[in-house]
Structure 1
Amino acid sequence: MALTLLAGCQEHSSTPPLTTGLPNPASSGAPDTASINQTVRGFYRWYASMIEQDQTTEFQPIFAADTRGMMTLDLTRYLANLRRLHFSEKLIQSEKDSYNTCINNLRTIPFTRRDSVLADVVEYENRDCAFFDSYRWTKTMDVYNGIQLLQTLTDGDSAKVKVMIYEAYPDSQGVKKRVWETPFTVQLVRTNETWQIDDIR
């Protein structure tokens, strides 16, 4: 994911806190816009916080032993967090299914031999298990601490939010931003009067 460096003018003595950027005038007054934007911001703020704290067990599967002592993935906590953060059941199921190949390739490896059999990242890649080598929802290993919602569009029970994320940091000339050049598009659906994240592209 390409990044762009932008210079700011305000000085800070420490790393700036997570920010959600400017209000979105294009979506002002649109039905349900506040609820939609709150759902999107809530997820990206949580994700940034977990990445910053290196809480990997909260936002990705965990390598674990099954009842036979063989390797598998435990997605319990990860999927519970996605559900709590208003991901749709369709997207949660799709995310769960995306790890099936990895789980199948781990079944023959005793958990106690993990370090010897999977000695480097190439061994994980060969088994489609190197999900830890990139942050799933930003498609990069770069951290971010800023969010700006560029546009919110609604169409009945569907919505799309264009999201820009960036890393803001102080330097001798003020604050600079490293901006992800390609915004993400978050698609949402309304289910039982609740807006849920249905896709992120």
Structure 2
Amino acid sequence: MPVRTTARSGIRRTTTATGLRATAVAILAAAALASCTQGKTDGGLRADPSVPSATASPSADPVENADQAEQAAAEATEEPTARAEPGPELVRDAFATLQATLGETCTPGAGDCAYFLGRVTQELTELDEAMRADPKGPGHFKQPLADMKVLFGKLGKDRSTPHLEKHFSEIVGTRDGINTWMQDHPDDYR
């Protein structure tokens, strides 16, 4: 029902704001009342702890239920993600990070090789993955992939510093050989 109000200028107008406010207050009151009623019957603050909750199993842990509810809500809001097709920039980016190691070196046995050899090996692994996933196909990168395959065959799964130092020449040689190959194929990294 419209309510008439008088403004300072003396103009009379009709407004429904008061009616909307009254409706909002009534809805909030009803929600609060429903909330209080549920609190007494299904495990709220005033519930009798000896009476099992109507919404939870008698042996359920409230923290576990909260965790499960949170996880279910997160899963419901997550969108399924399709694996993005790798673009040619993956090879470019992987090669750029490998190139960043060109000015670095270490002395095997001197204790300064752990980071360097680990980094070069990781960069070679990422470049290998990028080349295999590139739209041009692994056939385009035949030589560098073959060189990395030989290196990874020698290294195996052992990435310890002594083992990497043992294969220092092969690691650095593979890095330098791939750099030379890539320099002859500028369309792959520019």
User: Is the TM value for this pair above 0.5?
Assistant: no
Instruction: Considering fraction of residues, name the structure with more strand.
Output: 1
Instruction: Considering fraction of residues, name the structure with more helix.
Output: 2
TM-score by length of 1: 0.26
| Bigger relative CO (Cα 8 Å, ≥ 6 apart) | 1
| Structure with larger Rg | 2
TM-score by length of 2: 0.27
